Amino acid sequence: MDEAADGLRDVLASVGRALEFLRARALGEYPLDPVGFDPELTAGIVAPAVRLLKAYFRVRVKGAARVPEEGPCLLVANHSGTLPLDAVVIAYCLYDEHPRHRIPRILAADLTFRLPFVGELARKTGSTLACEEDARRLLEKGEVVLVFPEGYKGVGKGYSRRYRLQRFGRAGYIQVAAEMGAPVVPVAVVGAEEAYPKVGEIPFLGRLFGLPYFPVTPLFPWLGPLGLLPLPSRWVVEFGEPMHLGGLEERGKEDPMALFEMSERVKGIIQEMLHRNLMERGHPFF
Amino acid sequence: MRVLLTGVSSWLGSRLARRLEAREEVEYLLALDLLPPREELERTEFLRFDLRSPLVYRILEGARVDTVVHLGLMATPRRAGGREELKERNVIATMQLAAACQRHLPLRKLVMRSTTAVYGSSPRDPALFAEEAAGRGRAGEGYARDALEAEEYVAALGRRRPEVCLTVLRFANFIGASIDSALSLYFSLPVVPTAFGFDPRFQLVHEEDALEVLEKAVLEDHPGVFNVAPEDILYLSKALRILRKIPLPVLPPLASAAASLLGRLGVVDISPEQVAFLLWGRVVDPGKFLREFGRILRYSSEGALRDFAARRAASPAEPRAPAWEEEVRRFLARLSGGSLGRGA
């Protein structure tokens, strides 16, 4: 009898919380940070939705606890999979499995913010434009920042070049991390390449829509919007050991080579993690 | 301190004049504009004057002005009588004023009201603009470009007369029950058109805070260019929820058409750069301003909007009469010896 009453009380309490959440949303009573992050929307609505994605890809997360418990930190990840689902999954995995449930702030291409709904949602979940000013600002505030130095070259590469890291931009991210005293955590994602294997592209449609590429996958565009459904590949997301860049800022001023070398080292570590996790994962789908 | 104030016909100008004439430090206050001030001023001398005239130097010299407060920039073309006229009044007036200031050696200080619109609005914007980010590439056309060009004349004055204390205040959007800013009007629409799929971020400066900042800049020395805005931000969606307004999402390609239709119907004046603002928004970094001016803002963006909502609820939408009606009202009030005018 007591158990039933307790159960009922729990249900009523959670209904009450849900109603309070909706009331606060409807009246505009929720906090925002200046960059546009809406923590309540992110934790209350977006995170539960992304949880489904994590389950769908049967993601195995390794080393989330290696990300520092507090203070600035730069996550550097490989970018793949035609559509940048990997960013969303990495961010959720850290939030889900980190002891302090830190939410990484994703640095995204300007295309993201040009798209209706996508741009809005990206901002509200804490993303901002991939530029040095914004990276510096977030690190200064002690946030975890997630970058993809490969950019479009990584996410848009063909399936035949899967798991081969592309050029790491111009090492600007290393410079910012060194300047802000933020450790760099290499992140390797295995599985995104098979979710949307890009077997080709249609250049004229890309130009028409102002996109960097218009992808062709085994399902898209043949099945229309249904073709946007990712294949249920198996994913592994690994957070590596933090790398501290003490003194690199000073050295980098006199010798830019030092920054490029550090960038190459980070790239090498991620490539190694990719190979290891690919072997461990076995079959991409089963 | 002998002060020359431009743009006194605006709410901001009239109120600043009222505040300044109440200060002992201000020995003499001369106000210029094409239209008379909104409210009765006590010891301010008002002169109907078009700033585009080179006579402005003679005025500075004759009145022995040592401080110029330039509030003359106007954002909305329709009130000025078209885009061309607006550009003339914004840019050419500032050019003449800056040139006159350069020649007028007793000048000690120039305070200019500018706008954060100089940063433009685009999907390629950083999350927050610092003062250095302004430039021709960003401002685009219209009012923002005017403000930037006006700032350039003032900056040139600064280079040639480094001993003059120059303060350029780039205000974020004003909000308040009295001030007639574009956003106050926009938020007063019964149903608010928004861009479908976009939710701009912005900051709001309460009208009283704006006055406080201007007054402080006139009475104290704070040289430099400053972003004047609270630290917190609003999304349009959140603002409309606070105001209990119903958004009307419009497809972005139709937004410009809808804006010009609303303008032509005289409902609300939304210029193309404001359409961009409603798509991409704009947030500035007020760090430099807050360090220099201290804790001067009493309202956050959200606080300013909530205050606006509360005041609007208390005295719903008083229709804004054209300036000449105001003059007639004042004339009648003088005739009858009573006070028929509102608020003055």
In chain A, which residues have their Cβ closer than 8 Å to the Cβ of B238?
Answer: 28, 30, 32
For residue B299, the SS3 value is coil
Contact residues on chain B for A30, CB-CB shorter than 8 A: 238
CB proximity B125 to A under 8 Å: yes
Q: Which one of A105, A112, A137 would you mutate to disrupt binding with B, by most B Cβ within 10 Å of its Cβ?
A: A137
pTM above 0.80, yes or no: yes
Say which of B124, B233, B242 has its CB closest to residue A36.
B233
Residue with tokens 């229309």: A224
Whether the CB-CB separation of B283 and B119 falls below 8 Å is answered with no
Residues on chain B touching A22 (C-beta within 8 angstroms): none
Closest C-alpha to A163, from A271, A255, A36, A25? A271
Choose, out of A38, A133, A143, the residue to mutate when testing the contact with B (most B CBs < 10 Å): A133
Lowest mean pLDDT across A229-233, A255-259, B43-47: A255-259
The strands making up B224-228's β-sheet, listed across from edge to edge, are B45-48, B28-33, B2-6, B67-70, B109-115, B165-171, B224-228
- Residue pair B132/B285 in contact (Cβ under 8 Å)? The answer is no
Structure tokens at B254: 């139709």
Tell me which residue in B198, B232, B242 faces A34 most closely, judged by beta carbons.
B232
Pick the residue from chain A with its C-alpha nearest to B201: A36
- The partner residues of B195 in beta bridges, in order of sequence, read B250
Closest by Cβ to B241, choosing from A26, A32, A110: A26
d(CA A63, CA B70): 59
Q: Cα dist. A180→A133, A136, A139, B324 in Å?
A: 12, 7, 7, 58
Q: Looking at the complex, does the CB of residue B123 fall below 8 Å from at least one CB of chain A?
A: yes
Q: What is the 3-state secondary structure (H, E, C) of A48-98?
A: HHHHHHHHHCCCEEECHHHCCCCCCEEEEECCCCCCCHHHHHHHHHHHHHC
Question: Which residues in chain B touch residue A110, judged by CB atoms under 8 angstroms apart?
Answer: 123-124
Q: How far apart are CA B270 and CA B10, in angstroms?
A: 19
Tell me, yes or no, if A22 comes closer than 8 A to chain B by beta carbon.
no
Contact residues, chain A, for B283 at CB < 8 Å: 34, 36
The predicted pLDDT at position B132 comes to: 92
Which A positions 79-98 lie with beta carbon below 8 A of chain B?
none
pLDDT tens, residue by residue, A175-212: 999 999 999 999 999 999 999 888 888 888 888 888 88
Q: Do B198 and A35 touch (CB under 8 A)?
A: no
pLDDT at B344: 39
Residue with tokens 């971020």: B201
**Is any Cβ of chain B less than 8 angstroms from the Cβ of A131?**
yes
Closest CA of chain A from B126, distance in Å: 6
Direct distance between the N- and C-terminal alpha carbons of chain B, in angstroms, rounded to an integer: 26
DSSP class of B129? B
Nearest residue of chain A to residue B252 (CA atoms): A116
**Contact A210/B at CB under 8 A:** no
Interchain contact A26–B (C-beta under 8 A): yes
Locate tokens 């209990």: which residue?
B244
Whether B241 has its CB under 8 Å from any CB of chain A: the answer is yes
pLDDT score, position B340: 47
Shortest Cα–Cα distance, B204 to chain A (Å) = 13
d(CA B182, CA B173): 8
Radius of gyration for chain A, computed over Cα atoms and rounded to the nearest angstrom: 20
Contact B115, B170 (CB under 8 A): yes
State the smallest CA–CA distance between residue A189 and chain B in angstroms.
27
Min distance A211 CA to chain B CA atoms (Å): 14
B252 touches A: beta carbon within 8 Å: yes
Mutate to test the interface with A, among B227, B241, B284 (most CBs of A within 10 A): B241
- Summarize pLDDT for A124-139 with one digit per residue, the tens: 999 999 999 999 999 9
What is the Cα A207 distance to its own chain's centre? 26
A120 contact residues in B (CB cutoff 8 A): 197-199
Burial class (CB in 10 A: 0-12, 13-18, 19+), A238: buried
pLDDT at res. B341 = 44
pLDDT tens digits, A98-152: 999 999 999 999 999 999 999 999 999 999 999 999 999 999 999 999 999 998 8
The C-alpha of B243 sits at a distance from chain A's nearest C-alpha, in angstroms, of: 8
Across the interface, whether the CB atoms of A32 and B233 are under 8 A apart is answered: yes
ipTM confidence:
0.89
Q: Cβ of B288 under 8 Å from any chain A Cβ?
A: no
Strand ranges of the sheet holding A236-239, from the earlier edge strand across to the other edge = A60-62, A236-239, A184-190, A73-77, A144-147, A105-108, A128-129
| CB–CB contact B199 A124 (8 Å) | yes
Which residues lie closer than 8 Å to A247 by C-beta, 6 or more apart?
none
User: Each residue's pLDDT tens digit in chain B (344 positions)?
Assistant: 999 999 999 899 999 999 999 999 999 999 999 988 988 898 999 999 998 888 999 999 999 999 999 998 876 655 556 677 788 888 999 999 999 999 999 999 999 999 999 999 999 999 999 999 887 777 777 788 889 999 999 999 999 999 999 999 999 999 998 887 878 888 988 899 898 999 999 999 999 999 999 999 999 999 999 999 999 999 999 999 999 999 999 887 777 777 777 777 766 666 777 788 989 999 999 999 999 999 999 999 999 999 999 988 776 555 555 556 667 777 777 777 655 444 43
Count CB pairs under 8 A between chains A and B. Answer: 69
Partner-chain contact A129 B127, CB within 8 Å: yes
